[in-house]
Structures are given as structure tokens and as C-alpha cells.
């Protein structure tokens, strides 16, 4: 009986250790450089036809699920701000959108340090802040993300990513979000 219990404990401990190596959880944060591309925006009969990118931020939780030595899946849950500054000949305004973004990335590990990250991203609008008191953002956005990940140490990483919105970001204009992200994170 003692041998059976000992074998069960050893098997359970080995199983827990294997699970810990297959799934890592972590946190990340960083900068966004975002813009909106597409047609001009018309608000109160005024056309805004040029945009300037804005610098904002993102932060959230990640999980990395190792499937093979060279491949893993990384779902993330991020708060991310995006938007642009719109200009015409007379005035300008800043449109900043806060999203709950859920990218699910396939990570192709090129070696122990570098990975190629590709996958879809769904984003849900949480807040809209602008200088003209109109709420015109779509509540859902879908896009694709791609970039590189760098493992600096076993637990510390850096990521660079480009996210391209595939659906409209505004109800009043045909504009889509685009964003470059630079992140730092820690897994445990």
C-alpha cells in the first residue's frame, strides 16, 4: 500500500512539474504608436483629411502554452489605447480609444532567444475620449498582429509588433486602426 501511495505521489509531482513547464503566465506593458488610416472624417459638416499618429500605452496579462519545442500559442488580455489626431486647415482634434484587446498569437521559435509571432486580435471598445464631444467609434474591432519576441532571460522578454485593423474603427468614416507596439514583460 505504501508503494502505491509513493508511486502516486511521484507521478503527481512529475505531472505538476511537466504542466508548469508547458504553460507560463506573465504580465506585459509598453508603448503604442497608433494612427487611423482611410477616408476623411466629416463631423458637423467639417472635413478632416489628415491624421497624425499618437503615442499611447498598453498593459495586461499573457499566457504562453508550449506545444512543441519550436511552437507555442500566446493568448493575451490587454488594455490598449489607440487613435489619431485629425487636422484640417483651421483646427485639429485628438481621438483616443480605449480597448480590451485579445490577441491570440502563434509563436514560431526561431531559436532560444527569438520568436516570430503571428495571429488574430479582437478588440472591444471600453472608452472614447476626444475633443469634440461625439461618440462615433465602433464597439468591436478585428485585426491581425505580427512581430518578433526576444527572450532576454528565462523570465524577462521584449516584443515588437505591428497590428493592422481589418474592420472599421468609426461609424462616421471609413478608417481603420494601425499600431506599432513595443513591450516588455515578465513570466513566472
- Taking alpha carbons only, the member of 109, 115, 82, 86 closest to residue 97 is 82
The pLDDT assigned to 17 comes to: 46
Helix and strand numbers (H, E) in the chain are: 1, 11
Q: What is the pLDDT of residues 94-132, one digit of tens each?
A: 888 999 999 999 999 999 999 999 999 999 999 988 765
Residue 140 cell numbers, joined: 468591436
- The span from the CA of 128 to the CA of 17, in Å, is 44
pLDDT at 10: 52
Which band of pLDDT confidence, cut at 50, 70 and 90, is reported for residue 38?
confident
User: Please, which residues bridge with residue 64 across strands?
Assistant: 24
d(CA 181, CA 79): 13
**Nearest residue to 33 via CA among 53, 58, 51, 50:** 53
pLDDT given at position 15: 46
Q: Give the model confidence (pLDDT) of 80-95 as tens digits.
A: 999 888 777 677 778 8
Poorest-pLDDT segment among 34-38, 50-54, 123-127, 162-166: 50-54
User: Pick the residue with more confidence: 54 or 19?
Assistant: 54
Q: Which three cell numbers stand for residue 113?
A: 532567444
Nine cell digits for residue 13 = 509531482
Q: Which residues does 3 contact at the CB level (< 8 Å), separation at least 6?
A: none
Contact at 8 Å (CB) between 35 and 51?
A: yes
- Cβ atoms of 143 and 164 within 8 Å: the answer is yes
Other Cβ atoms within 10 Å of 110 Cβ, number: 12
CA atoms within 13 A on the CB side of 22: 8
Flag whether pLDDT at 14 surpasses 50.
no
Cα 99 to its chain centre, rounded Å, is 10
pLDDT, one tens digit per residue, over 39-81 is 666 655 566 666 789 999 999 999 999 999 999 999 999 999 9
Amino acid at each position: 500500500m505504501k508503494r502505491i501511495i509513493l508511486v502516486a505521489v511521484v507521478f503527481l509531482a512529475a505531472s505538476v512539474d511537466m504542466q508548469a513547464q508547458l504553460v507560463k503566465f506573465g504580465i506585459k506593458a509598453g508603448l503604442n504608436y497608433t494612427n487611423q488610416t482611410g477616408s476623411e472624417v466629416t463631423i458637423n459638416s467639417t472635413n478632416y483629411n489628415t491624421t497624425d499618429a499618437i503615442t499611447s500605452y498598453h498593459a495586461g496579462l499573457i499566457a504562453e502554452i508550449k506545444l512543441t519545442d519550436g511552437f507555442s500559442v500566446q493568448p493575451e488580455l490587454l488594455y490598449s489605447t489607440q487613435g489619431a489626431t485629425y487636422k484640417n486647415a483651421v483646427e485639429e482634434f485628438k481621438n483616443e480609444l480605449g480597448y480590451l484587446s485579445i490577441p491570440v498569437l502563434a509563436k514560431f521559435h526561431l531559436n532560444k532567444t527569438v520568436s516570430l509571432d503571428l495571429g488574430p486580435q479582437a478588440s472591444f471598445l471600453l472608452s472614447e475620449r476626444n475633443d469634440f464631444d461625439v461618440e462615433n467609434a465602433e464597439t468591436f474591432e478585428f485585426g491581425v498582429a505580427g512581430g518578433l519576441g526576444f527572450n532576454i532571460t528565462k523570465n524577462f522578454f521584449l516584443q515588437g509588433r505591428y497590428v493592422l485593423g481589418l474592420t472599421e474603427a468609426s461609424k462616421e468614416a471609413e478608417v481603420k486602426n494601425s499600431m506599432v507596439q513595443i513591450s516588455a514583460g515578465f513570466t513566472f
